[in-house]
Structure formats: structure tokens, C-alpha cells
Amino acid sequence: MGTDAGLGPAALVVNTASRRGADAFPVAREALPRHGIELGLTRAVTDPSTLPDVVREAATSGYRLVVVGGGDGTLSGAAGVLAGLPRPYHAVLGVLPLGTANDFARTLHIPPDVEAASRVVATGKVVDIDLGRANDRAFLNVASLGLSVEVARESRPALKRWLGPAAYPVAALLAYRRHRPFQVRLEFPDGEQEPLDLGDLLQLGVGNGRHYGGGATVAPDAGIDDHLLDVFAIEKGRLRDHVTIAGLLRSGRFVEHEKVRHLTTTQVVVTTDGGEQEVNLDGEIGTATPARFRVQSNVLDVVVPQHARDLRREARRE
């Protein structure tokens, strides 16, 4: 029995401005039916800003399976739309990872190859996962401020197309040279701890998922359905500290370094000293401080491989 059993025809929406989107659209349009997914609406979106509206159109038109192709920013936008629709228009998200980092797909164990990802959509299982919100803007992986914002500016589309995943460390080196430390105040509306003031920071991150930044891990135990946000603050420190931290990013054990503060929460309000700062949401500048970050538990249904044992379907909690 395939994923689409009982869901009816699917909609296919691809951001052709993503790194592999233009080439992948015709491949996906052929691969999905070959694996048993009947397609109704198919849309190649050339302007990424309009993609959320296309996803909304598909779901409110009655499609219960919406397959979206693009990078992490594209998928975050689509996820925010689907999670925010009323129950009569509830739809399942199918993922075709076509960006540079593809960290959401990595968290869900979805392969980067279009053919293989199409097979997952057709044969996988439906699970429900958490969604992060930053001032009501959706994010799947990590919201962050500080160095990551400057990296996002340096990671121009041309650089991503030229270098692929290597664009991120190159952009990080360029951004690091001119980064200035900053201060934040963390407040916890749910009252699980006292407000926290942190200074001389390189970066502050708020993780909903498990992976970010092209394969880095938020924390050793972080998950996209654990109903928690992982907050980590990296101090400016010395160059050798950053070299050590960089070596621990893939395992997530950088959060154990003496220059890193790590905590978990369901909600945090972040204010920055000296005025507002921009916030990076899954690789795209999406909002600014002061920012309220919160987790919405089990609000997004998505197709993952049958072998993804760490992901499951639960009752919606929010």
C-alpha cells in the first residue's frame, strides 16, 4: 500500500529558482506517476515569493498530498502554509530536496536524488512533526542571528550553484572577518527559568529540527518531533575555540564546549542590545528581533521513508 492510498491525486509544486529546481521539475513529473502517484496540479514556480500561495491554492482546492520541491527556505514556507490551514484543507507534505543544504530532508532521512525522493513519496509513511515559529514566521531547522545572518548574505545564489554545499564554509569565512559581537536577553514566557542575559556572542541559534547549515547537528539529542526548541549561544571567544567548535558541529557536541550555552524550552523571547537584528530562518532572512520563538507540536504531516524509526505519528498537541 503506497503513501497516496486514500489521499487521491497529488499536487506537484517546484521552485525552479532553487539550485536544482529547473532540471528536477520534468524529472519529478515523470518519476512520481511511474512510482504510482497520480498527479493533478503541476506547477513550476519561477518566483519563489509566490510559492506559498501556490501551495495554499493546491491544498484549498482539495489536494491532500502536496509534493514540494526546493531548498530548506522553500520547504519552510510551504510547511508554514500547510500547518496553518484549517482542518478541512489539511494536506500531507511530500518532500523533493532540491536546494544546497537540504537539511530538512537529512533530518527526515529523505535521499537527495529526485528519483529516490519520489519513491519515498510513493512508498513512505506519514508522520507528524513539529514546526518552529519566529514572530509567526515558520522555520523547520534553525532560526539564528549573528554570524549566520552574514553567512546568508554571502551565500548568494550564484555561489551556491557554483560551489554547492561548499558555499557555506566559504561564506562563513568571509562573514567571520567582519563579524561584531552582540548581546541578547532571553525571557521564557512559560516560566521554566529566569531571564538570561548573554554577551559577546558570535551566534545565537534556536533549533526546531536536527540538522542545519549543510549537515551540522543542533545537539546530540535534538529531534524534529521532540516538542522542544534547542537554544544555543556561541561566544565570540578565541579563534582556536571556534576551530574546536567547528570540528564538533556535525555531531552536535559543540553544545558541550565551554564557550557555548545550551538549553531547551518550548518558548523564548529574544531581544538584542542596541536595536533590532535580523533573523535567519532556514537560510533566508525572515524576521528581526525582538523575536518570540515557539514550537508547534505535531502540526505538520509529512512523508518519510518506512525505515525512519525515529519519526512517528502522534496526536496533534497544539
Q: Where are the domains of the chain?
A: 10-130+298-304, 137-296
Question: Which range (4-8, 26-30, 152-156, 216-220) has the least confidence?
Answer: 152-156
Helix ranges restricted to H, 131-212: 147-154, 157-163, 167-176
Residue 180: per-residue pLDDT: 79
| Residue type, position 82, single letter | L
Choice among 194, 276, 284, 318 that is catalytic: 284
> What is the spatial distance between Cα 179 and Cα 29, in angstroms, rounded to a whole number?
44
> What is the spatial distance between Cα 43 and Cα 20, in angstroms, rounded to a whole number?
15
Classify the phi-psi angles of 46: left when phi > 0, otherwise alpha if psi is within -120 to 50, otherwise beta. alpha
Band (275; pLDDT cuts 50, 70, 90): confident
Fold of 137-296: Tumour Suppressor Smad4 (2.60.200)
C-alpha dihedral sign at 101, 105, 108, 112: negative
Phi, psi dihedrals of residue 100, rounded to the nearest 5°: -90, -50
Can you say how many angstroms the Cα of residue 224 is from the centroid of all Cα atoms in its chain?
A: 10
**Cβ atoms within 10 Å, residue 200:** 12
Band (82; pLDDT cuts 50, 70, 90): very high
Residue 1: per-residue pLDDT: 45
Judge whether residue 301 has pLDDT over 90: yes
Q: Of the candidates 308, 293, 47, 54, which has an alpha carbon nearest to the alpha carbon of residue 187?
A: 293
Residue 122: per-residue pLDDT: 96
Band (4; pLDDT cuts 50, 70, 90): low
Better pLDDT: 162 or 77: 77
56's grid cell: 495554499
Judge whether residue 178 has pLDDT over 80: no
Alpha carbons within 13 A on the beta-carbon side of 76: 29
Judge whether residue 123 has pLDDT over 50: yes
Classify the phi-psi angles of 114: left when phi > 0, otherwise alpha if psi is within -120 to 50, otherwise beta. alpha
CATH homologous superfamily of 10-130+298-304 equals Probable inorganic polyphosphate/atp-NAD kinase; domain 1 (3.40.50.10330)
C-alpha dihedral sign at 184, 72, 256, 259: negative
Residue 28: per-residue pLDDT: 97
Which three-class secondary structure state does DSSP give residue 102? coil
Judge whether residue 138 has pLDDT over 90: yes
Q: Which residues on adjacent β-strands are paired with residue 133?
A: 138, 294
Active site residue 284: yes
Residue 32: per-residue pLDDT: 97
Mean model confidence pLDDT for the chain: 90
pLDDT digits (tens, 9 = 90+) for 219-271: 999 999 999 999 999 998 888 998 899 899 999 999 999 999 999 999 999 99
pLDDT digits (tens, 9 = 90+) for 222-233: 999 999 999 999
Judge whether residue 2 has pLDDT over 80: no
